[in-house]
């Protein structure tokens, strides 16, 4: 009788690749606008204000999109990681106030778990770089606002034409 034995050692590169694949899959499930904001920030290193100007969006939308992208990296139901993620994104905003920075410092100093969660958030943020490169490899995210909405417009036009044809108005 032959037995197949699995190696006891495991390749850390394989585990790392699996993690990156899972992150890439999670990023692909995000709305296209969220992907675009993330890629402009991570790959082109644009700040929130620059992204807001480029996409003609309010800064609060940029923050919301960045937070949504960062939250894809945390475990569901981890409230502490969610709070750390909110702080991480908020502190990058040009609209953050001195009062908010003081509140963050108080939150960070309140419990050792907060510091640990914030540190984990920074590591998760860094872990997004490789999947972001894969997601934006062809530069699609550099297109303007109109380029992203063309897909929706063409669907709407197609449905409109189909409705007109069904009604017999397009003969």
Give the distance, in angstroms, between the CA of residue 149 and the centroid of all CA atoms in the same chain.
19
Average pLDDT of the chain, as a whole number = 83
Per-residue model confidence (pLDDT) at position 146: 47
Residue 69 is part of which domain span? 17-136
Identify whether the C-beta of residue 83 lies closer than 8 Å to the C-beta of residue 116: no
Q: Is residue 95 part of a domain?
A: yes
In a domain, 160, yes or no: no
| Burial per residue of 30-65, b for 16 or more beta-carbon CB atoms within 10 angstroms, e otherwise | beebbbbbbbbbbbeebebeebbebbebeeebbbeb
- Has residue 89 been placed in a domain? yes
Indicate the pTM of the whole model. Answer: 0.72
Amino acid 154: pLDDT: 56
Check whether 69 has a pLDDT greater than 70.
yes
Residue 15's pLDDT band (cuts 50, 70, 90): very low
Measured CA to CA, the distance from residue 113 to residue 87 in angstroms comes to: 14
**What's the rounded Cα separation, in Å, for the pair 168 and 110?**
69
Q: Is 6 contained in some domain? A: no
pLDDT at 151 over 80: no
Which is nearest to 64 in space by CA: 78, 79, 51? 51
167 belongs to a structural domain: no
pLDDT band at 17, cuts 50/70/90? low
Q: For residue 143, tell me if it sits in a domain.
A: no
Instruction: Give the chain's domain count.
Output: 1
Answer for the pair 42, 132: CB distance below 8 angstroms, yes or no.
yes
103 located within any domain: yes
122-145 confidence digits (pLDDT tens): 999 998 899 999 999 999 998 865
pLDDT the model gives residue 94: 93
User: What digits encode the pLDDT tens for the residues 31-65?
Assistant: 999 999 999 999 999 999 999 999 999 999 999 99
User: Mean pLDDT, to the nearest integer, of 20-34?
Assistant: 90
């Amino acid at each position: 009788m032959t037995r197949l034995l699995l190696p006891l050692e495991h390749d850390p590169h394989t585990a790392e690749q699996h993690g990156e694949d899972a992150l890439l899959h999670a990023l692909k499930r995000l709305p296209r606008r969220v992907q675009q904001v993330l890629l402009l920030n991570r790959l082109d290193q644009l700040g929130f204000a620059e992204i807001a100007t480029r996409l003609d969006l309010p800064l609060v939308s940029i923050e919301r999109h960045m937070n949504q992208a960062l939250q894809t990296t945390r475990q569901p139901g981890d409230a502490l990681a969610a709070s750390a993620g909110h702080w991480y994104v908020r502190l990058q905003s040009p609209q953050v106030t001195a009062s908010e920075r003081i509140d963050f410092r108080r939150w960070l100093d309140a419990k050792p778990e907060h510091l640990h969660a914030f540190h984990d958030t920074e590591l998760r943020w860094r872990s997004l770089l490789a999947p972001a490169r894969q997601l934006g490899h062809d530069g699609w995210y550099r297109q303007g606002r109109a380029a992203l909405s063309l897909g929706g417009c063409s669907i709407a036009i197609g449905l409109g034409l189909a409705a007109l044809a069904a009604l017999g108005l397009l003969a």
